[in-house]
Amino acid sequence: MTDRLWDKDVQEFIEACKHEKLADIEVGYSGIGSAFLSVSARYRTRRGRLIPIGYRWVESGKWGTHAEVYLGTVPAPAGHDAKDFFRLAWKTRLWWERNHVAYALLAVTTLYFKAHAVRDRMQLEHLENLKKDQEFSAALLKGGIDDGLDVDQRREAISQARDAALRTLNDLAHLYGAHSEPGGE
């Protein structure tokens, strides 16, 4: 991991974790078995109250799977327009903090995209290391589901890469992000 600390993507993720209004940053997956990353944190108001904030993927009958940001219990489409973030601040009764809310939502969105870049790169590195294993490499080249090779073994290797990347992201967020005090809310 120490070699990766100098990667540009990792440095950008670390910088995004240092946002002064965000605490307890956690990277996970939206839904069970989902490949979509999500970011959750806590927004610290001017009065010191902590409110859940994040970027996630949700399923709806009308729109299908789509990204949304949320603050407290109020969700909004994951747009990149400040006026959408101001509306979210209004709905959560934080109008006087609308600029801080907008920057925190932008920071959460940035965290999502930076986490995505780091995760993809780490998974690619892990799978390239697996490619050196000749049996695994032959399984990838043959490709078909019914090629007589252990499909579960391939899925397990990919799952290990996914879990290792997620653990690293959460470790970095824990090391470089702020934390709420015990009993903070």
Contacts of 16 (CB under 8 A, 6+ apart): 107, 110, 111, 114
CB atoms within 10 A of CB 25: 28
137 against 59, higher pLDDT: 59
| Percentage above 70 pLDDT, the chain | 75
Least confident segment among 24-28, 37-41, 69-73, 155-159: 155-159
Separation of CA 27 from chain center: 4
Please report which residue ranges of 41-181 form alpha helices under DSSP H: 82-91, 98-131, 134-142, 151-176
- Stated pTM of the model: 0.78
Query: What's the pLDDT tens digit per position in 75-120?
Result: 877 776 666 677 777 777 776 887 778 888 888 889 999 998 888 8
For residue 141, the one-letter residue type is L
Q: In what order do the strands lie in the sheet with 64-71?
A: 22-29, 37-44, 50-60, 64-71, 74-77
pLDDT digits (tens, 9 = 90+) for 59-71: 878 877 888 888 8
Region for residue 148 given its phi and psi (left: phi exceeds 0; alpha: psi -120 to 50; beta: otherwise):
left
Tokens 């009993």, residue located: 183
